[in-house]
Structures are given as C-alpha cells and as structure tokens.
Amino acid sequence: MRYAIYYTPGQDEKLARIAANWLGRDPFGAATRPVEAVGDLSAAEVAFHTASARRYGFHATLKAPFRLAPNETEASLRAALDAFAEATPPVVIPRLVVGQIDGFFALVPETRFAPLNDFAGEVVRAFD
C-alpha cells in the first residue's frame, strides 16, 4: 500500500469552501456536483480545466506517495505524523497567487519563501 501526506484547510474554512465549490467536489464527504460557469468560462470549460484537480480535491502535497519501510506500519506512520505536526510550528505564507506546478494550476507563494522551503525539507527528512 502507498501513503502520502497532504494538507487541506479545515472543512469550515472559507478557502476550503470556495475551492470545493470551484472544483465541484467536497473532499470531506467526497460528494461531487456539476461545476458552475466562472466569469467568462462556461461550466464545460471550468469542468475541463479542473478535471484532474477534482479527482483529488483541494490539497497541498507535503510528501508524495510512498511505500512504508518494511519495519513500519500505518500506526507508526500516524504516530510519527502526529508527533511531527505537534512539534512543528505553522508556516504562514504572506501572499498566495495562482501559478503552475508541473502543468497544474496551484496556489503558490507570490515570491520565494524560505520558511516554506525549509518546512518542505523537514517533511522529506522526517518521512523518508
């Protein structure tokens, strides 16, 4: 089995609700619904451009899919993740903009943000 570590805003946070409406998918209940037109884009165009993202829901990948080491279990991964989250201070990104990462539209920092890069490195070190 493969695992991944993702971040998503809480179910009741404004960003989560807006993203769920835009994508046509509620990641917390996994319910899908038809997308709506946005600005000059028809509903069909929005559906086309959000098809890949709709499959996964609105999230940020912290650790891409991986397999557990032979001596690890899902329970030990959960415990390690809980300990990491408890010990790691939050990273607050000052301003997000729409950008592209590997062909996907994404919310990214407006400028290079060293604390986020440091956090990403810590995630890799802790879970590799």
Per the DSSP assignment, residues forming a β-bridge with 66 are 3
41 vs 46: CA distance, rounded Å:
6
pTM of the model: 0.79
> pLDDT per residue over 83-106, tens digit each?
999 999 999 999 999 888 887 778
Phi, psi of 118 (to 5 degrees): -65, -45
**Residue 67 pairs with which residues in a beta bridge?**
2
Record the tokens describing residue 3, joined without a space: 């695992």
Query: For residue range 35-48, what is the model confidence (pLDDT) as tens digits?
Result: 888 888 888 888 88
Report, as ranges of residue numbers, the positions in the chain whose pLDDT lies below 50: none
